């Protein structure tokens, strides 16, 4: 049974999302993510935990830390495996996976159970504090030095940063590179476009003989990479965007050039969600 009641979805097209706010260990060691806080207020890291968030849509339920069974050949980030209604679920030490701390988790810890591609994974955190309803316009893109597992950041009512994590990317890094699969021969692919290659985002298209463009929009670098790999199997140019606002600006630019393009978009994204973008 969930310890945190996860409410229903927000109204479609409202540009709002619900976020579970949580903390990791109380004592945060030095890391690129936290160095600026230590400089501004020495010793503050020992008193106040850094706040993190994850989209409710990514979380199936929140539970207390259950009994764990050791996993063979596990990495340091994997604490073990637990049973959830008869299903074995790996438990990942989120603080360790982010490179913050490998301190033993406390009995009071909680687990955010996620489901990606039909697979359950538990991310162990210090405490799930609350659920916020937030406008995507309040979410800022992360600074370059924070890129990676951070997809966005926002300020709470006390002007504290809340860092929104990309659980899919964290899980992919813990699991390691996937087994390489040999793609279908080129002659077996459906030729829906002509030409090949790719233009960097924001470049001008040739005035004649240009190729159709596919705009891939997703704030998750892992999901975006997977989509690009699939779309690149066709003969077209792929433009990547990290949120709906950037995609909207890119589509306007392409439209002014008279380009033929299609869009593959995520729904939950910073600044502008997929529903608002599509409208």
What is the reported pLDDT for 113? 96
Other beta carbons within 10 Å of 129? 17
What is the pTM (predicted TM-score) of this model? 0.65
End-to-end Cα distance, the chain: 38
Q: Is 272 exposed, middle or buried (0-12, 13-18, 19+ CB in 10 A)?
A: buried
Q: Are 57 and 268 in contact (CB under 8 A)?
A: yes
By three-state DSSP, how is residue 148 classified?
A: coil
* Same fold? 16-175, 186-278: no
The answer to whether the CB of 16 falls within 8 A of the CB of 127 is no
Ordered mean pLDDT values, 10 residues apiece, the chain (279 residues): 53 76 68 50 55 90 92 81 93 89 84 89 93 87 69 88 89 69 42 44 53 86 84 83 88 88 83 79
In whole angstroms, give the CA distance from residue 232 to residue 158. 45
- Give which of 255, 266, 258 is closest to 216, Cα–Cα: 266
**Residue 89 near residue 81, CB atoms below 8 Å:** yes
**If DSSP codes are grouped into helix, strand and coil, which group holds residue 26?**
coil
Instruction: Please report the pLDDT score of residue 11 as a whole number.
Output: 60
Looking at domain 186-278, its CATH class is alpha beta
Q: Could you give the residue ranges of the DSSP H alpha helices within the chain?
A: 35-40, 94-97, 167-175, 221-231, 244-256, 274-278
In DSSP notation, 236-266 reads SEEEEESSHHHHHHHHHHHHHTT--EEEEE-
Residue 123, pLDDT score = 96
| CB burial readout 5-14, b (16+ within 10 A) else e | eeeeebeeee
pLDDT at 29: 47
Domain coordinates in residue numbering, the chain:
16-175, 186-278
pLDDT for 116: 84
Residues 6+ apart with CB under 8 A from 65: 105, 107, 108, 109, 110, 111, 124
Question: How far, in Å, CA of 109 to CA of 92, rounded?
Answer: 12
Residue identified by tokens 């390691």 is 176
Q: Does domain 16-175 have CATH number 2.40.50.180?
A: yes
């Amino acid at each position: 049974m969930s310890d945190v009641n996860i409410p229903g979805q927000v109204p479609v097209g409202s540009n709002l999302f619900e976020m579970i706010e949580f903390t990791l260990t109380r004592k945060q060691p030095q890391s690129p993510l936290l160095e600026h806080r230590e400089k501004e207020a020495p010793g503050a890291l020992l008193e106040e935990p850094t706040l993190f968030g994850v989209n409710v849509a990514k979380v199936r339920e929140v539970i207390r830390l259950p009994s764990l069974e050791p996993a063979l050949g596990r990495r340091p980030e994997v604490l073990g495996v637990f049973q959830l209604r008869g299903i074995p679920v790996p438990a990942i030490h989120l603080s360790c996976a982010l490179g913050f701390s490998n301190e033993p988790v406390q009995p009071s810890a909680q687990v955010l159970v996620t489901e990606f591609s039909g697979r359950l994974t538990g991310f162990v955190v210090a405490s799930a504090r609350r659920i916020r309803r937030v406008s995507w316009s309040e979410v800022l893109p992360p600074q370059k030095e924070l890129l990676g597992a951070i997809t966005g950041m926002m300020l709470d009512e006390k002007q504290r940063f809340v860092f929104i994590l990309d659980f899919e990317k964290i899980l992919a890094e813990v699991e390691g590179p996937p087994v390489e699969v040999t793609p279908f021969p080129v002659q077996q692919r459906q030729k829906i476009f002509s030409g090949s290659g790719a233009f960097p985002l924001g470049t001008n298209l040739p005035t004649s003989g240009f190729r159709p463009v596919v705009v891939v929009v997703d704030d998750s670098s892992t999901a975006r990479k997977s989509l690009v790999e699939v779309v690149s199997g066709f003969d077209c140019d792929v433009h990547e965007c990290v949120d709906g606002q950037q995609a909207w600006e890119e589509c306007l630019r392409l439209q002014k050039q008279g380009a033929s393009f299609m869009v593959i978009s995520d729904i939950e994204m910073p600044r502008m969600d997929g529903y608002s973008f599509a409208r």
